[in-house]
Structures are given as C-alpha cells and as structure tokens.
Structure 1
Amino acid sequence: MLDALSALVIESKSDDPAVADVKDRPANTADKSAPILTNVYFYGDDSSDTGDLSRRLTDFGIQLIQTEPGAEPAHDVDVITAVVDFDAEALVSSNAEVLRRISEQYPGAIAISADGSFEGRLAALRAGFETYLEKPLDVTTIVDAIDKRISERQPEPFRILIVDDDQELGKYVELILSAAGMISQSITNPFETFDAIREFCPELILLDLNMPECSGVELATIIRQQDALSSVSIAFLSSETEPARQIEAMHSGGDDFLPKTLRAEHLVSAVEARVKRFRQLRSMLVSDSLTGLLNHTATKHQIETEIGRAKRERSEFSLVMIDIDHFKAVNDTYGHGLGDEVIRSLALLLKQRFRTTDVIGRLGGEEFGLVLSGAGREDAVRIVDEVRQSFSEMEFQAGQQSFSVTFSAGISLYPAYQSVKDLSDAADRALYEAKHAGRNRVVVAD
C-alpha cells in the first residue's frame, strides 16, 4: 500500500582524522549568507537566549522582530506569525486580553514557556494559542511550527474527481467545489475513471451510486482492487435513502455517504474533512518520521514519476544525492540526540531553499535525495552549492561548545541518464568522487 500510495503523490578538536570536517567554531557566529525570507514577531525579553534563538533561526531564513505587547505592527512588514514568550516579565504582568489580542492579530501564534504543566498549557490555549512549545527549545521544533504556519497560509488546493452520469449535476458539484478553492473535475462515463485518476490524481472521488452501465458499488469495488488506489478516499454522493443499499455501498470500499440534497456549504465541509484525513494518512505513509521529508520508497517513486513527466514534455531534471560528512564522528562525539538535530536541521534547510515542485527525501541515515524538476547542470550545481555553503556555516551547540558540519553532494542529469537505476548509480558515483576529493563539495556525474 505504501509503494502504491507513494506513486500517486508524489563537529570538536581531535587527533582523529575522521573528525576533520566537524570543526570547532567561535560561539555565536551568525550565518551571514542565509537569505531572510520570513518575518516573525517576537514578544519577550531581550536576553542572550533570545539573541541565540534569533541567530539560529536566521540559518533557516527566519527573522525574529523584537516587539512589545500592545505595540502597533509595522504596516510595511509582512509578518507570517508571532512567537510569544510566556515567561517574559512584560507578559507575566499582562492580562489575558493582551495575549488574546496578539493571538487574534496573528493566527497560529506560537507560545513558548518553561512551564510544561497542564495549567500552563490550558491558560495559553484559552488565550488563543494552540501551539505551545516547552523550553529548552530545539530550534528545529520552532522552525517546524513556523513552517506549518506558512503552509497553512498557502495550502495546496484539494483535488476532487466527480463520477456521475448526470452531467448537469456533476458540473454543479464541480462548480460548488471550485468556488471553495478546490480543483475538481467531473466525468459521466465510469469506464473513463482509471484514465481520469491517472491524469488528474484526485485525493477524493465522489461517486454516484446509481449509474446505468456500471453502478457506484461496482466501480468502487474495481477501484479498490487496484493496490495503487487502495487508499484514495471514496465518498458516495447519492439520493439513495435505503439503509441496506447505503451499507452495501460502504462495504464495497466507500469511506463516506453523502446525500445529493446536502446544502452546498455542508458538502464543502464534508469534502474538506475527508481530504484532510487523506492527507494525514498519506503523510504518515510516505514521510520519514524524523524529518517529515519523503521516505526512501516514496522518493524513488517520485524519480520514476519525474522521468515519465520529462519524457512527455521533453524536458530535463537533476537528481541530487547528499551525504553528511563524517556523521558517525558527530554521533560518537556529541551523541545521537545532537546527531538527530543535525539531520533535522539539514532537512529544514532543504525545505526552505528548494521549491515546492522539487522532490526532497531522506534516503536513510544521513543521506538525502533531491529531484530538481527542470534544472540543468548549471542551475543544479549553483543552488546545491549555495545550500552546501549555508549548511557549513550553521552552528550546533553542545553544552558550551559549538561545532559545524558539512555535506557532500553528487548530481546526475536527465536525459544523460534515463532510468532510476542509471540516475541513482551516476549520482552515487559523483557523491563518492566528492567524498574522495576531500568532502564538502558538489560533483556532477560525467
């Protein structure tokens, strides 16, 4: 089921040379090269901890703008959300109304506090803060929370396929869903369903129950016979009122039963709820648990998908293999907890720097894979090398000591290599060359 669903979606000083790339660096050296992409207001005390957090977030393209409770926001600054330190003196003495105004002004605002108690969390929730992060903060945790807010502001439209022999009704439902910001498509011939699914890639299929040439029950059963479609949501949209027929429909593979008499706003709400559940399931199945990136299997499927697209459009793309240099030395020197932070930090940096149309996956351990759609040799080398430089300038904190890490990358190009195996093997060879040449560099396969 995982494979099928994936196809749809799409360093410390040391005499040990193995620690050569894990270098000591002066504490509190900010990354000067990372672009400032996202503005976030910060309500809290101006302390050394705040300054350190601000510098760490800059690595990920996030700029904290210090402000005071009750201050008027700058109208010329696009602010994504706010981070509120509930332990700050100015906020401890504030009443709930001040906090509520902040949460209302910046939906998705993030509360941070050393108080992990139920009472502390409840007070924050009642003030309108649904996200509550407990100190000490792992910077990747707060970056994740901010990224989620960005995603909520720019969500991917839901994709709905409607199968109904009544063309007029199908178009009416399509119009309702399109008006709600969804991408919908309707067909009247159930025999065209597989072609429509393959081309349109729906997240939810709305089926009419009673169609003359192939009933909704029959069509749902046939869809569920296909492993590649076993997790796509199916909802019956029908005027059928007989309970036995509705139960039969649900047993055939339906996930929901919606009456055709449903009011437009209720239909939109029902469809939204179903697709959100589908996306949660898809994310659990195809995502790496540590980083939230695509897992190995899903990444490989996406390479296959990109090959197909590039063939049809006669376009190019690049496959990038990235491996963190001397990662075992990081784990051995600083522990696996900090090793995980290094991996999560690289994952977040990749998500920040690459387009949503690019494929970003964790292939296992400290290795990552990228598919850069439409990117030729020059573009791929430029952007990967920029990210390599930014990552090498990141600081990681181990007690009073700070360290940095590097990565190496190998790139293969389509159409020079035209199969998943050939592309992967070529990128692996280029990655080996980068390692052999001294690491912390990008090499392109010949």
Structure 2
Amino acid sequence: MAFSPVEAKKKCTELLCKWEAYLKLPSFESFVEFAVSLSSFSEFLQGKSLSGLHRLSHGLEQQVLALFDAADKHRISQATLDGLQSRIEALSERVSQFVESNGQSMEQRRVHPETDAASDQAPTHRVWLVCNTAKQWQGLATKLKYFNIQAEIYPWKGLPEKAEEPSIVMLDTQGMSPQKVCEHIKIMRASFVASKLIAHRFQDDFNHVKEALRAGCDYCFAETTPQSVILAKIIELCSTEEESPYRVLVVEDSLTASKSIQRTLQQSGIESLAVMNPSEVLTGLRSFQPDMVLMDMYMPDCTGVEATRVIRQHAEFLSTPVVYLSGDGDMALQVDALRLGGDHFLTKPFNPVFLNAVVKSKIERYRTLRRSMLRDGLTGLFNHRTAKERLATAVNVAGNTHGRLAVAMIDIDHFKTVNDKYGHPMGDEVIRSLAWLLKQRLRKGDLVGRYGGEEFLVILPGSDAEQAFDVLDRIRRDFSLIRYTFEDTWFDTTFSAGVSQFFPSTNAEAMIKDADEALYDAKNSGRNCVVARG
C-alpha cells in the first residue's frame, strides 16, 4: 500500500463529520454533502486497493444513493437513520482497526536506504501464500523477492493471529469444493479488510467464479494457470502508481454555478479551473492541461457546441472529453451536441454524486487512452518516443536549475540466444521481468522507457554518474540471480549498462550517445557490468 493508513482514517473522520452535520441539520443539502463525501471515500478505498474496506463503504454508498428522493422530501424514517448509523459506525471501527494494525509509516520501510539515489524507492510489499504444500510455492516466493515483494508461506491452520495485513493473500484451493472455498473467502475477507484476495486452482466455471467474487474474492485463477501469469498479476497488484489528481476545466458564465461545480469536484479530490468567457477556453486548456472540460451549453455570444467545435480545431485537444451542462432537456439538442464533438450531456440541476461519477469515468478512459499512446504494450514502460521526450524535458530542467542528471542505456546480454533457445514467449518474460525490476528498484521520480527490443533508457534526475552506477549495479546483480523455469530446467540471464552524466554543454541526444558508448564498453568488457562516464 503506497500511502499511510492514517490517510484512510482522516478521510473517514471527514465522512463522520458530514454525517453528524446532517443529523444536526437534516436538510437535503447536508444529505447531499454526506453522500458526496461517502462516494469520495469509497473511491479512495478502491483506488488504494483496500478491498475489504471498499466493500463495506460501497454497500453503504448504494443504500445512501437509493435514499436521495426520500431525503429531498424529508421522509427518511428513524429506523433507516438508525440502520445507517450502525453501518457507518461499523465502517469507522474497521478503519480504526486497520490503522491500528498497519500504523507503521510506509516511509520507514524503504529498500537499500544507504544511498541518496535509492532513498525514495518503492516500499516492500508482503504476500501471504496459504496452502497445504509449501514446496510448490518456493520458486514463486524466490522470484517475488527480487521485485521487493516478500512472500510468506503459511498452512491453512497456521495463519498468524496478530500481524500487519499483507498486500495480497493467495489461497490454494486445490481439492476444495466451491462452497468450501467461498466459506474460506468470507472468513478471510472478514479478517483482511485491506488485502487483495486471490483464489488459486479454483474451478473455472462461470457460476463458481461469480460466487467466489461475491464472497469477497478479487481474482480467481484456474488450476492450469501458469505460474508466470500468477507472478505477473502479483507484481501488477503491488506496482500501482500514484496518479496525479484529476483536473477539470469548467466553462460557465455564471459565477454562482461555477463555484458550486468547483466545490462539488473539490469534495472528490478533483482540481478545477473556471473560465467565464468561452473565448478563454483555449488559454485555459493550454495553461491548466485539464483531463476534461465541463461546458455550459448556453453562454452570451457563444453556445457550448460552438466552443467545443473551436476546441476540436486543435489537434492536441481532439481527444479531451467535453461534458455539457444545461438546464434544457431537449433530446434533439442533446443529440446534436454529442454529434458535434461532445462526449456526454448532463441536465441541470445535476446530482453531485452522479456528476463526479461521470467526470471520473470520462477522465479514467481519457487517461487510459493516453497511457496506451505513451506506454509500451509489453512492459508498461514509456515507449521510445515518450522516453526521449521526457529526457529532453529533464535536460531542460537540469540546465535551468543547475541540477544533476544521469542517463543509462541498458541492454540484455545474449538476448537473441534466449529467443532462439527458449522461444519468444520466454524472451518476453525476461523483458518484462527486467521492466518490473527497474520499476520496483528505482525512485518514484526516475523514468524508465523501453528504447527498443531488449534495450531500456533510464533517466535519473538529481543523480550523478557515480550514484547512478551504484543503483544500476545493484539492480544488475539482482537481475542476474533470477531463474526462469523452462520445461524441466531453468536458465538465467544478465544485462550490461552504460551511464552518462549531464553537463551544461550537453543535450539529450549527446547524453544518449555517451551512454550508448559506455554500454558498448560494457559489452566489450565481458558483459554483465555497468560502465559510467562522469
């Protein structure tokens, strides 16, 4: 979990304050504020992969949303309020238990804290493998440790009674009936509110999987699932990256309306910028770089559709979602608005919870599209073009701030032999494993791109060549220890790397050239080494 558990407690306290405010002054407006706060908290828990807590909050959220009409007419019965109170108290108690048992700051659990260049690495994650036969999981546990994931193997009847929750609990369900598996999942879910639950060797049947998911499981793997797939899923779940806050440009000529919209967005952690004049929309898009636009339909001298058509004249904004807001429910108008460049239509007065849900779903899809354009499909790293663009930006920043910057080129040794001898799927696994290792072992501010084939570009802002050498050489040693199983045998592989350092007289291309030449030296020195040019 890449955040302090205290953050969950703080957000839960905010929710309790909204609920108490509603009980003291049971108006529709205060009920809406409570509902928005609950929705925001539920999304927070989901985004932080706190599965058990999210299930509790989501169930409560569904009940609250179903009460909107009753709240508007002040017809929520006392029995219903008492029921809500009990569920809110239960959620708050589970959050408190989670904070108490997971109170150690994640900032204290860093890997290799001895060098500046490694002081901001990703925290170690913990995974419990629950099974009756430990031997079959030793290989997986060994592989996981190279990616900062500590695997602990326990028998079904030997789980620790008091322990900090692991990131993942994987249950080996071999030989169990689907009903028995669901019973175990329910027990586990009651005990582990924050962990992801995985059922392995589960019967691959639609209804059985549906019941397991309903019981509280997050993922089900069939018995035939290769261990490499399980490894990939565990690494993926432990490698969630912190996203920047969602950003919305509000185009609204009414100051009152724009303030109301911004306040609603802020309650869900969404940043916003408001412009009252449609002629300022392009300036706002370029300066604020929003993920989407909330556009009023009717403004003086310009309709929302006309403003959107102007936006769509600019290639860089072709994919930016535009959601219209209007008090006019004319279906023909809405259809035309969508045909002429819009993505959604909301009628005023809007439900704040629904508005935030629409905004977040549109932004999530927009960011997914952008990621597919910027990222390499096999590794999830930046692609060649994006990596070079990020390096150019890093060089400009270093030049303007007189900062340090190091760049490394990495190449997997004898990779053609791996493909020829073990096949391209195994070659892909080797590439992915190096990508995962780099993402796990580098700092949050470092950037990694797949430069091409088995070549990687690493950008380390704030580091000089010596520091970069120390970090990459450590990763090199660990990468060489990874064993890849193939049929009845195994193999390992290594990489070579060249490092260059930023000087005021160099540019991005020169740094890549210097790193390439250092990489060439590393290859000529016998491979499986790092050469740095300071």
Give the whole-Å Cα distance in 2 for the aligned partners of 1:53 and 1:336: 21
Higher helix share: 2
Deviates most, 223-232 or 67-76 = 67-76
Letter aligned with residue 296 of structure 2: D
1:411 aligns with 2:469: no
1:86 aligns with 2:141: no
Give the whole-Å Cα distance in 1 for the aligned partners of 2:287 and 2:132: 53
Q: Is the 8 A contact 1:318 1:373 kept in 2?
A: yes
SS of 2:394's partner is helix
Could you tell me which of 416, 433, 441 is aligned with 1:345? 433
Match of 2:528 in 1: 440
Give the whole-Å Cα distance in 1 for the aligned partners of 2:305 and 2:398: 37
Provide Cα deviations, 1:260-305, integer angstroms capped at 9, x if missing partner: 3111111111111111222222233332222222222222232233
Match of 1:204 in 2: 292
Distance of aligned partners of 1:320 and 1:161 in 2 relative to their CA distance in 1, 3 Å threshold: farther
Could you tell me which of 166, 174, 182 is aligned with 1:96? 182
Match of 1:129 in 2: 217
Could you tell me how far 1:429 is from its partner in structure 2?
A: 2.0
Count of residues paired in the alignment: 414
SS of 2:458's partner is strand
Letter aligned with residue 368 of structure 1: F
Match of 1:362 in 2: 450
Match of 2:136 in 1: 49
Could you tell me how far 1:314 is from its partner in structure 2?
A: 4.6
Deviates most, 396-405 or 154-163 = 154-163
Deviates most, 269-278 or 242-251 = 242-251
Match of 1:422 in 2: 510
Letter aligned with residue 480 of structure 2: S
Letter aligned with residue 166 of structure 2: V
* TM-score, normalised with respect to structure 1: 0.82
Match of 2:342 in 1: 254
Could you tell me which of 347, 350, 360 is aligned with 1:272? 360
Could you tell me how far 1:69 is from its partner in structure 2?
A: 4.7
SS of 1:94's partner is helix
Distance of aligned partners of 1:154 and 1:214 in 2 relative to their CA distance in 1, 3 Å threshold: same
Match of 2:272 in 1: 184
Could you tell me which of 213, 216, 241 is aligned with 2:304? 216
1:59 aligns with 2:146: yes
Deviates most, 368-377 or 263-272 = 368-377
Give the whole-Å Cα distance in 1 for the aligned partners of 2:405 and 2:275: 33
Give the whole-Å Cα distance in 2 for the aligned partners of 1:170 and 1:72: 53
Give the whole-Å Cα distance in 2 for the aligned partners of 1:416 and 1:74: 58
Provide Cα deviations, 1:79-100, integer angstroms capped at 9, x if missing partner: 21211222166x8793522212
Provide Cα deviations, 1:50-78, integer angstroms capped at 9, x if missing partner: 11111111111111223355777654424
Q: Is the 8 A contact 2:178 2:208 kept in 1?
A: no
Could you tell me which of 14, 37, 42 is aligned with 2:124? 37
Letter aligned with residue 81 of structure 1: I
Could you tell me how far 1:35 is from its partner in structure 2?
A: 9.6
Distance of aligned partners of 1:355 and 1:216 in 2 relative to their CA distance in 1, 3 Å threshold: farther
Could you tell me which of 338, 358, 381 is aligned with 2:469? 381
Gap regions ≥5 residues in structure 1: 1-31
Letter aligned with residue 180 of structure 2: S
Give the whole-Å Cα distance in 1 for the aligned partners of 2:225 and 2:485: 12
RMSD between aligned residues:
3.1
* TM-score, normalised with respect to structure 2: 0.69
Could you tell me how far 1:123 is from its partner in structure 2?
A: 4.5
SS of 2:298's partner is coil
Q: Which of the two has higher C-alpha Rg? A: 2
Match of 1:399 in 2: 487
Q: Is the 8 A contact 2:239 2:440 kept in 1?
A: no
Give the whole-Å Cα distance in 2 for the aligned partners of 1:117 and 1:81: 23
Gap regions ≥5 residues in structure 2: 1-110, 113-120
SS of 1:225's partner is coil
Letter aligned with residue 304 of structure 1: A
